[in-house]
Structure 1
Amino acid sequence: MTAAAAPPARALVFVAVGGGVGAVVRHLLTQTLPGADHPLPWPTLVVNTLGCLLMGLLTSELTRFPLHRQPVKMLLGTGFLGGFTTFSHYVDGVRELTVGGSPGWAAVYLVLSVVLGLLAVWIGITVGKGKR
């Protein structure tokens, strides 16, 4: 096995800037969404579903760009959407619901997150392709 080549510093800057902005936007959005009184972590579900929709749109749009547009993918896809969505918080939400005595809500959240995420990516791709 050979070691993978290190990404150029420019790509790392795009990922870092996009990730930082995405994380801040996620934090601000989850603070404004209602749902603290509900067993399901709705803010995380909404953010992750929105992130999947945006990833679908971005993926569709990036197929139109030449390969030299890689910085857009690094900034918006890996960076912004990587920082905006949060798989670790999703998994921790499932754990908290289970440990907190709500395994039924944990199962609903687990399945709903995956189904809505896949549906959102599909919608994003479909809408993105339809704009051509």
Structure 2
Amino acid sequence: MKSVLIVALGGAMGSVLRYLLSAWALQHSVGWRFPVGTFAVNVLGCALVGVLAGLLVKHHVFSPEVRLFLFTGLAGGFTTFSAFGLETFNLIRRDEVLIAGSYVVSSVVIGLVVLWLGFSLVSARG
């Protein structure tokens, strides 16, 4: 139960940070067609997870509870794209480039297809 609360606290904080950054980006990109808010969140989330993962590998500075809070909670609430990026990066680091490529392509393509299917099922006129 303690782990769930740690993740929930980090997730809540990450979600609020995502909202604030997206709102700020939206205010500063009025009229843009590019989704700058989501882009900024994804890039910043990947940068954050990269720095944290680097510190973890080099210095072993985080306890299991802190890792849960930072990676699963905070970063996960901020953007799951950072987890996707870290998983892909770790596959590449292990020289599993084919698996990394198939993970990226299948995640994007299948994700978009099932999004379209779900949208179509619910919004269909019947």
Q: Deviations over 1:49-102 (max 9, x none)?
A: 000000000111112226x71111100111000011155xxx8xxx7xxx9xxx
User: How many percent of aligned residue pairs carry the same amino acid?
Assistant: 38
- Contiguous gaps of at least 5 residues in structure 2: 82-107, 117-126
2: distance between equivalents of 1:54 and 1:21? 14
Deviation at 1:36, TM superposition (A): 3.6
Check if 1:50 corresponds to 2:38: no
TM-score, length-scaled by structure 2: 0.58
| RMSD of aligned Cα (Å) | 2.4
TM-score, length of structure 1 as denominator length: 0.55
Q: Which runs of 4+ in 1 moved over 3 A?
A: none
2:65 maps to which residue?
Answer: 71
How far apart are residue 40 of structure 1 and its match?
1.0
The aligned residue for residue 31 of structure 2 is 37
Q: Which has the higher contact order (CA 8 A, sep 6+)?
A: 1
Question: Which residue, 2, 5, 10 being the options, matches 1:18?
Answer: 10
CA distance in 1, matches of 2:38, 2:72: 19
Aligned length: 82
Counterparts of residues 1-132 of structure 1 (less than 5 Å) = 9-33=1-25, 34-63=28-57, 64-65=59-60, 69-87=63-81
Pick the structure with more helix per residue.
Answer: 2
The offset of 1:23, in angstroms, is 0.1
